[in-house]
Structure 1
Amino acid sequence: MTTQNIPTIYGVGGPVARIPDDVTIPQFFFDQHHELNGEALHLRQPTYFIDDATGRHVTGDEVRARVLGLANALHIRWNIGDGDVVCIYGPNHVDYSTVIWATHRVGGIVTGANPAYTAEELVYQIQTAKATVLFVHPDALPVGLEAARATGIRDDRIVVFDAVPGDNHLTVTDLVKEGLLQPKRYVEPRLKPGEGRTKIALLCFSSGTTGRAKAVMIPHYAVIANCIQMKQYANTRDAPYPNEKKLYRSGDVAIAVLPFYHIYGVVVNLHYYLFCGMTLVLVQKFNFENMLKSVQRYKIGHMTLVPPMVVLLCKHPAVKNYDLSSVKLLTCGAAPLSAELTHQVAKLLPHAHIGQGYGMTETCTTVSFPQLDMRIGTPGSAGRLIPGTAVRILKADGSWGGVGETGQLVVSAPSVTIGYLNNEEATRETFKDGWVYTGDEGYVNEKKELFIIDRIKELIKVRGFQVAPAELEGHLLDHPDVADVCVVAAPDDYSGELPFAFVALHERVRAQVAADPREAERVRQSILKHVADHKTQYKWLAGVEFIDVVPKNPSGKLLRRVLRDRLKEGLQAGRIKLVQPKERAKL
């Protein structure tokens, strides 16, 4: 089949709107207007950010001034310029975006690092990205200093976001003041037509479809394009309405609990919501009950979350103590949200639109977004393909499928990134002729709704039948004793693989189980029966192991590898024994 004849499914909303390819991210967001956000510029509130921890309001004018001051200081002190890399190590902060945009103003590149990283992990990112300046949150300073020493970053090139007692490093505010008190010395990049497509803005780390984390090269154009795509999609619902009746209303308040070092947080939570004219409540450290307080205090209308946070919304007893009636749209992404959880959170937020989105670091985030013409998105759906996006379906037999057929999702969009930094082999595997081979299995229906079945490498094969862990996890979360769960493949001589569940119990049940081994067995059998009563036999669990916490990465994705290793060790030691579904059927 020739390339021209491959079935291709296009996003809704017609051709994508104008995307400028000769500007940097801050030039697009601060120095000009786009026809899709003209109303947002006119009607937005002066406050861009609210620091959740202190209540401090930061206006747009202050943001601009701090960016200009910091950019000037970066150039004057260290001659940071075209292609130089700055690393940010820490959680969200009101000046996180200041560092991003100031670095872009002088032509540099930003790489954000997970504050939970060990020194060794941070060293790997700094060395891979070739960062020469390190911005560190005070809480992460000891690890940051250790990694800086190991990578040769001089002490005078380490900047803390806030002053630390007894520490003499410069703060962001020190540099801002320094830069504003001197004449502008840097020359801002003026891109040629098309240059925005290749000039790197961010290096975000992703494991891709396989292997160790790689630095994804994200150009300025990709971030700008994805914001325009999402806004154009929002307008398919909002365009006919006055501002006060829009779902994405200029003047709305959104909570920024997702980390800005992650692609979901930096593109959707930060740039897209600002493009819509919203005020962001910035959360440095996620605490569930504090998030509920913030929703009530600031009348937050937009919650952009990951599934573990939605699980807490549905299961945590504190929820009933807070007024969440201001929430108008809850969007979940980064991992699949089950139909069961979708309906639970819809009952909790009866006036809010509930939906999911799908994207990857490699696609510079959003491929699909919640169905805005429905209060509750189609159960199991990851939303609807947005304008400018095209999807192809690569079936298991190597042929190309069409609407309604299942296979690997192969995606093209104006936001697709350049590839992996200094890793040609991995780039060739994932990026082919402008298409991203996602490693995710799914399908698209006639309504352009996307359904993710699972990661191809995570599917469990039971006697040739495919079992999606996400399906069983969604069902298990509906069990009253289950607080969280991860399903992995257990090796089995007869079936090849069998599904095995690691379950975190609710606190009240955990205490009962700890006190009485008989209660543990009763709960275990109840969970096994919960699956056996509702799923076909090859999907039955081969066992249940109770754990305190289900391990996840910062974006909310389950760390199945950790639990697969734990299961393997338990089987080898004889501590864990599998039950064949055919044996349980006789009980």
Structure 2
Amino acid sequence: MIDHFRAAWDEILAPGTMFEMTETEVRGIPMRVFAAAPPSMRSVWELTAGYADRTYVVFEDERYTYADIDARVRALAHVLREQHGVGSGDRVAIAMRNYPEWVISYWAILATGAAAVGMNAWWTGPEMQYALGDSQPKVLIADGERVERVLPMLDELRAGAPLHLITTRHDGELPAGADRWDDVVDPSTAPDTLPEADIDPDDDATIFYTSGTTGFPKGAQLTHRGCVHNLMHIIAMGQIAGAAVQKAAEAAGEPAPDPAAQGPAGSPVIMAPTPLFHVTANNCLLHPATIGGGTIVLTYKWDPGRALELIEREKVTNFSGVPTMSRELLTHPDWSTRDTSSIAAMGGGGAPMPRDLVGKIGTSLKSGAPSTGYGLTETCGIVTGNSGATYLAKPESAGPIVPTLDAKVVDEEDREVAPGEPGRLLVRGPIVIKGYLNKPEATAESIRDGWFDTGDIARLDEDGFVYIVDRAKDMVLRGGENVYCSEVEAAIYELDGIAEVAVFGVPDERLGEEVAAAVVLAPGTDMDADGLRAALKDRIANHKIPAHVWFLDEQLPRNANGKFVKRELRDRLVAEMA
């Protein structure tokens, strides 16, 4: 199968194809780029003009065509430009659930040349305040839940710079300098065209916050070029996987498999069960659905039963979430009674896909196959992709490196290791972020001569397929959410009576990992696990609060340098828990 994959790779990426590559300088460094890449994400949106009558966004029981969304995008883009002076170099923040307004806001912001700041909808008020203060958006577009969190600090935020508020799905009283969505976004009076904009491929398209090892999140600056190239990588990897299957069938003298079930005019119908404020749903699901004239199916919250209902109703062709979501679909009582025959691909990323789940997906889908990918916020999306028969041939691999990306595995001295040996994975290419907003030291530490240090321990096999071995970063990967241990430790240390704390991940069947903490209290302190969690509730988002807490009577174990030995501590406590 790998030989067929290589042949398909050469064919799809050959000179003269839409994925032909050339070399150019990106921020002063020579890199491979796609010769036919659109110049900006605004251009990607403009390419959808021919899809007007197709269904674009489904949210629960709401439906919007491309024409419906386009009119609202044009209306909002002009409001941002003409009423609030938003343009190139500016930022507009989006803070809401996966509502249709998220999609409208995103395209309208990018169309003006500004950067969309994706606010984590699970953040507490103080976490929102930090990101808004860091990114300094001219406008915040928020739903009712997020509005209520930001109101107490709105005056303080506005003391630094003007911040206009546009609210959606919010019935509460509005403060001064705020508008309701329906009062400013009127599709019936939208201008016929988008406002003019001057956009460079290396301008910021999106700022997505990724948890920081210092206790504060870092705003990753995703460029237009990076987002466009990630989109083209996704399309190319899909075509390569499909061509490899065709070649394998031809070599075996078998009839080629029928094309995967598709929506209208061969367009995909993609369910996005994860938040749009992450690259997984936004860059790897929304973008491909859009460029292909497909449908993006959104839900109010994750519910496998409701998801199966929508899969049947909308004839979903692609389901991509964290692995636990796929498992919950396959094991749900309704799986056997719902029509899921439209699903052509099921899988996703955000956590390693257990080997048994790869096989279970392969045998459970009537006309589809498993898929996975490895990527980061800092790479605008995928670094690797693995799907279909190739994935079944190498079920423990995250797949090969995407076409325009260079990769190397290095030791602690940054020397390349031999093939098959584990080391830190470094990547370089047009999809690597420009840097971290307002954090030049963190940028310089993570990106050197264009090479981004993923912090992940990986190995490359003889076929160039990547295997993620471990994470070098002190991080818990909980259901696709990065939780940095130092951030949680910093919050716990703010509480009275904490002498020592170590935060780490423990295995969890549903989420992959769950947050855990070992705590040593100061003499005379009385605290239990529930009390600790209650004290953290207003300090950090719920998913960061430790699900498992141990209170120890002795000092935490240390190495010769005085650092806590978390792996030893975790292994001992997990064994006791078992």
Structure 1: distance between partners of 2:461 and 2:205? 35
User: Which deviates more from structure 2 when the two are superposed, residues 415-424 or residues 306-315?
Assistant: 306-315
Aligned match of 1:292: 308
Residue 203 of structure 1 pairs with residue 207 of structure 2: yes
Equivalent positions of 1:387-398 (< 5 A) are 387-396=403-412, 398=414
State the AA in 2 paired with 1:196.
P
Residue 47 of structure 1 pairs with residue 55 of structure 2: yes
Aligned match of 1:172: 181
* Residue 579 to residue 121, structure 1, CA distance change in 2 (3 Å): closer
Structure 2: distance between partners of 1:363 and 1:125? 20
TM-score (norm 1): 0.71
State the AA in 1 paired with 2:436.
Y
- 1:441 Cα deviation from its structure 2 partner: 0.6
CA RMSD of aligned residues (A): 4.1
Structure 2: distance between partners of 1:60 and 1:579? 50
- 1:88 Cα deviation from its structure 2 partner: 0.7
Match of 2:371 among 355, 365, 379: 355
Q: Is the 8 A contact 1:304 1:331 kept in 2?
A: yes
Residue 124 of structure 1 pairs with residue 130 of structure 2: yes
Structure 2: distance between partners of 1:273 and 1:380? 27
Structure 2: distance between partners of 1:571 and 1:314? 44
* Residue 231 to residue 102, structure 1, CA distance change in 2 (3 Å): same
Residue 103 of structure 1 pairs with residue 112 of structure 2: no
Match of 1:376 among 379, 382, 392: 392
CA deviations 1:80-132 (Å, max 9, x no partner) are 22222111111111121211121122221110111111110000110111112
Structure 2: distance between partners of 1:233 and 1:110? 27
State the AA in 2 paired with 1:323.
D
Q: Is the 8 A contact 1:342 1:354 kept in 2?
A: yes
CA deviations 1:355-390 (Å, max 9, x no partner) are 210000111111111234447362222123222122
* Residue 437 to residue 208, structure 1, CA distance change in 2 (3 Å): farther
User: Which deviates more from structure 2 when the two are superposed, residues 308-317 or residues 384-393?
Assistant: 308-317
Q: Is the 8 A contact 2:74 2:192 kept in 1?
A: no
Q: Is the 8 A contact 1:443 1:450 kept in 2?
A: yes
Aligned match of 2:356: 340
Q: Is the 8 A contact 2:272 2:320 kept in 1?
A: yes
Equivalent positions of 1:85-234 (< 5 A) are 85-152=91-158, 157-164=164-171, 170-177=179-186, 180=189, 187-191=195-199, 195-197=200-202, 199-207=203-211, 212-234=216-238
Aligned match of 2:492: none
Match of 1:245 among 259, 264, 278: 259
SS in 1 for 2:44: helix
Structure 2: distance between partners of 1:501 and 1:181? 52
Match of 1:266 among 267, 272, 282: 282
User: Which deviates more from structure 2 when the two are superposed, residues 169-178 or residues 73-82?
Assistant: 169-178
* Residue 81 to residue 380, structure 1, CA distance change in 2 (3 Å): same
SS in 2 for 1:296: helix
CA deviations 1:468-505 (Å, max 9, x no partner) are x99xx99xxxxxxxxxxx9x9xxxxxxxx9x9956679
Q: Is the 8 A contact 2:75 2:186 kept in 1?
A: yes
Match of 1:450 among 466, 469, 491: 466
SS in 2 for 1:110: strand
- 1:231 Cα deviation from its structure 2 partner: 1.0
In structure 1, the gaps of 5 or more residues are: 1-8, 34-40, 460-468, 475-485, 489-496, 507-544, 550-556
- 1:559 Cα deviation from its structure 2 partner: 7.1
Structure 1: distance between partners of 2:451 and 2:211? 18
Q: Is the 8 A contact 2:305 2:332 kept in 1?
A: no
SS in 2 for 1:420: coil
CA deviations 1:279-311 (Å, max 9, x no partner) are 111223222221121112212110011123134
SS in 1 for 2:378: coil
Structure 1: distance between partners of 2:114 and 2:229? 20
SS in 1 for 2:431: coil
Q: Is the 8 A contact 1:68 1:180 kept in 2?
A: no
Structure 2: distance between partners of 1:337 and 1:558? 24
TM-score (norm 2): 0.72
Residue 57 of structure 1 pairs with residue 63 of structure 2: yes
* Residue 427 to residue 333, structure 1, CA distance change in 2 (3 Å): same
State the AA in 2 paired with 1:65.
A
SS in 1 for 2:387: coil
CA deviations 1:408-443 (Å, max 9, x no partner) are 110122211101111111111111111110000111
- 1:247 Cα deviation from its structure 2 partner: 7.3
* Residue 287 to residue 155, structure 1, CA distance change in 2 (3 Å): farther
SS in 2 for 1:135: strand
Q: Is the 8 A contact 1:357 1:368 kept in 2?
A: yes
State the AA in 2 paired with 1:414.
P
Structure 2: distance between partners of 1:328 and 1:173? 37
Residue 236 of structure 1 pairs with residue 232 of structure 2: no
SS in 2 for 1:286: coil
SS in 2 for 1:272: helix
- 1:206 Cα deviation from its structure 2 partner: 1.1
CA deviations 1:553-577 (Å, max 9, x no partner) are xxxx99799468x24x346599xx9
Structure 2: distance between partners of 1:243 and 1:170? 53
SS in 2 for 1:421: coil
State the AA in 2 paired with 1:151.
L
- 1:394 Cα deviation from its structure 2 partner: 0.7
Q: Is the 8 A contact 1:404 1:446 kept in 2?
A: yes
- 1:337 Cα deviation from its structure 2 partner: 1.6
In structure 2, the gaps of 5 or more residues are: 1-5, 21-33, 247-255, 486-501, 512-528, 534-540, 557-567
Match of 2:424 among 396, 404, 408: 408
CA deviations 1:246-289 (Å, max 9, x no partner) are 57773231112221111111101111222233211122322222
- 1:166 Cα deviation from its structure 2 partner: 5.6
* Residue 24 to residue 174, structure 1, CA distance change in 2 (3 Å): farther
Q: Is the 8 A contact 2:391 2:399 kept in 1?
A: no
* Residue 92 to residue 221, structure 1, CA distance change in 2 (3 Å): same
Structure 2: distance between partners of 1:58 and 1:579? 49
Structure 2: distance between partners of 1:446 and 1:277? 38
State the AA in 2 paired with 1:203.
I
Equivalent positions of 1:499-578 (< 5 A) are 501=506, 562=546, 566-567=549-550, 569-570=551-552, 572=554
